[in-house]
Amino acid sequence: MKALLIGEQREGKLLDSTYELFGFAAQLGAETAMLLVGSESQLPAYSGTLYLADAASCGEYNPDLHKQLLLEAVQRENPDCIVFMHTSYGWDLAPRVAASLKIAQVSEVTGIVGGGLEVGCCNAKMRRTVKPATPKTVITIQAGAFPAGQPGGAPQVQRLAAAANGRLEFVGYEPAEKKEVDLTKAEVIVSAGRGVGKKENIPVVRALATALGGELGASRPVVDSGWVEHSHQVGTTGQTVSPRLYVACGISGAIQHLAGMKKADFIVAINKDKDAPIGEIADVLVVADVLQFVPALTAKIQR
Ligand SMILES: Cc1cc2nc3c(=O)[nH]c(=O)nc-3n(C[C@H](O)[C@H](O)[C@H](O)COP(=O)(O)OP(=O)(O)OC[C@H]3O[C@@H](n4cnc5c(N)ncnc54)[C@H](O)[C@@H]3O)c2cc1C
């Protein structure tokens, strides 16, 4: 089994998630080669073959040119699978490559189960396992689903250049509007999940955040329901945070939420379900009703 991993740089900086591709390949038991369009100053610590194309000449993102480069690397390596992170880069480029090669694509893979690929469905409330029906597969993996691999060493670089012009020109990035709350700098975050029940209960969680000198975070359903602003959302479609303390109140621990907060130094989860998945990563799981436990804790801290 051979995997061609598609690394990513953004504005010349190697994304940490590139190492999760190695973690996935290790679980698959696959030999690896990597393709990276970027600058030579930020290469992964990895001793295998690295196909490197210069972002200065073909753009940090240009679907036509990057697809050309990828197909060239596929021709040289003949991999069984081509693996992207499920980022905006991966979800745009992966289907183009799968369509060109006329092979299956499996998106947002969260696990490997008995030779099949596990993906979320029904808004990640359920998981299903699929097996590609073509000998080769294009795969995108969910951020945070696989531990970062640590291959180490220096890559054997083989340079690639795109042959023709693409139909698009990469112009550049523009920073998103400044967030109302910058959770990435917070040392303490207390987050509200759907288990909080209703908008009127959000102040209960906010009071604990204030008592601990921290910020209010939230899971996506809480934001989607309009209980708090999107700038408070933690997870793959919110902010990625790494506070010293993360308190999850009524949050189940879906992979998309964990991807945004599992790097916290210490995690306390308050959940009435003792088997909630968040218990697998929490340092402390308090099995209680948030609406009873949180006000009592806040009062104690305030005292
Ligand atoms: C493409 C995509 C992107 C996504 N991005 C994100 C993201 O960025 N961030 C994110 O959070 N989610 C994201 N999601 C959604 C994610 O899959 C989950 O649906 C979501 O995280 C669940 O939020 P929750 O834990 O608050 O709610 P639930 O999963 O409904 O969990 C509620 C929890 O509260 C507990 N509970 C209920 N009542 C009480 C009570 N009174 N006291 C204590 N505990 C109680 C329950 O036992 C349960 O564990 C995304 C999904 C998709 C498909």
Q: What is the 3-state secondary structure (H, E, C) of the chain?
A: CEEEEECCEECCEECCCHHHHHHHHHHHCCEEEEEEEECCCCCCCECCEEEEEEHHHHCCCCHHHHHHHHHHHHHHHCCCEEEEECCHHHHHHHHHHHHHHCCEEEEEEEEEECCEEEEEECCCCEEEEECCCCCCEEEEECCCCCCCCCCECCCEEEEECCCCCCCCCCCCCCCCCCCCCCHHHCCEEEEECHHHCCHHHHHHHHHHHHHCCCEEEECHHHHHCCCCCHHHEECCCCECCCCCEEEEECCCCCHHHHHHHCCCCEEEEEECCCCCHHHHCCCEEEECCHHHHHHHHHHHHHC
Q: Does residue 251 line the site of ligand 1, with CB under 6 A?
A: yes
pLDDT digits (tens, 9 = 90+) for 197-218: 999 999 999 999 999 999 999 9
Average pLDDT, the chain: 93
Same structural domain, 140 and 70: yes
Percent of the chain with pLDDT over 90: 76
pLDDT value for 124: 67
Same structural domain, 134 and 227: no
**Minimal-distance CA residue to ligand 1 atom 12:** 220
pLDDT value for 167: 81
Q: Is the pLDDT of residue 164 over 70?
A: no
Number of separate domains in the chain? 2
Closest CA to 145 of 292, 273, 47, 255: 255
Q: Does residue 220 line the site of ligand 1, with CB under 6 A?
A: yes
Q: Is the pLDDT of residue 91 over 90?
A: yes
Q: Is the pLDDT of residue 266 over 90?
A: yes
pLDDT tier at 126, thresholds 50, 70, 90: confident
pLDDT tier at 222, thresholds 50, 70, 90: very high
Same structural domain, 38 and 142: yes
Domain-located, residue 178:
no
Same structural domain, 154 and 195: no
Instruction: Determine the Cα–Cα distance for residues 80 and 105; give it in Å rounded to an integer.
Output: 12
Q: Does residue 206 line the site of ligand 1, with CB under 6 A?
A: no
- Supply the range of the domain harboring residue 275: 183-302
pLDDT tier at 58, thresholds 50, 70, 90: confident
Domain-located, residue 166:
no
Same structural domain, 155 and 18: yes
Instruction: Determine the Cα–Cα distance for residues 33 and 257; give it in Å rounded to an integer.
Output: 30
pLDDT value for 178: 66
Domain-located, residue 173:
no
pLDDT value for 169: 79
CATH code of the domain covering residue 253: 3.40.50.1220
Q: From the CA of 125, how far away is ligand 1's center (Å)? A: 9
Domain-located, residue 241:
yes
When mean pLDDT is compared across 49-53, 163-167, 257-261, the lowest value belongs to 163-167
Its pTM stands at 0.75
pLDDT value for 61: 86
Q: Which of 113, 128, 160 is the last residue of a domain?
A: 160
Same structural domain, 18 and 86: yes
pLDDT value for 82: 98
Domain-located, residue 165:
no
Closest CA to 219 of 243, 187, 199, 249: 249
Q: Which of 126, 160, 194 is the last residue of a domain?
A: 160
Same structural domain, 145 and 19: yes
pLDDT value for 47: 94
pLDDT value for 121: 79
Q: Which of 93, 128, 160 is the last residue of a domain?
A: 160
Q: Does residue 233 line the site of ligand 1, with CB under 6 A?
A: yes
Q: Is the pLDDT of residue 104 over 90?
A: yes
Same structural domain, 114 and 210: no
Domain-located, residue 272:
yes
Same structural domain, 146 and 208: no
pLDDT value for 172: 81
Domain-located, residue 170:
no
Q: Does residue 137 line the site of ligand 1, with CB under 6 A?
A: no
CATH code of the domain covering residue 156: 3.40.50.620
pLDDT value for 179: 64
Domain-located, residue 270:
yes
Same structural domain, 42 and 128: yes
Taking residues 284-289, report their average pLDDT. Answer: 98
Same structural domain, 141 and 208: no
